[in-house]
Amino acid sequence: MRHVVMAVASLCLALPVWAQTPAATFQVKTLTPETALMAAQAAMAACRDQGFQVGVAVVDRSGLTQVFLRDRFAGAHTVDVATNKAWTAASFRTSTLELATESQPGKPMSGIRSTPRMLAVGGGVVIEGGGSIFGAIGVSGAPGGDADDACAKAGIKAIADKIEF
């Protein structure tokens, strides 16, 4: 009986230490390809409604492309530009429109403009919901970064109910 009591007491003393051991892995939430496609289609539709032909990229939180759509008459450059806008937003965890302001010459973040693939113009927006960053969406081809940005936000709005929890 004494051994049983000692074993139970030892176990009780060891439990707090065991409970505080950091996990060796962690889980990351990602968009399904279907949800990424839905965001891209909504962004493209928002631009089409304004008469703009664009390219739209959706990347995961690591900046890897999940979906890319290019409208029929969108310029060839929109493929790289939209993808790089999405990559920039995902990599820096902030919109490219905000980075455009914060990385101007003379500002503390101005050095990031020399990062390969980094694009500091509007049109790249982080996709986040429920406290998680899922990735980013990039739009290129509308006249000006503000218009690209608005289309990207329309894409995110289209999937908001699927990523908020």
Q: 63-108 pLDDT, tens per residue?
A: 999 999 999 999 999 999 999 999 999 999 999 999 999 999 999 9
Domain containing 90: what range? 28-163
Sign of CA dihedral 154, 157, 158, 159: positive
- Compute φ and ψ for 120, nearest 5 degrees: -105, 65
Give domain status of residue 75, yes or no.
yes
User: Does residue 164 have a pLDDT over 60?
Assistant: yes
CATH number of the domain where residue 95 is located: 3.30.450.150
How many domains, the chain?
1
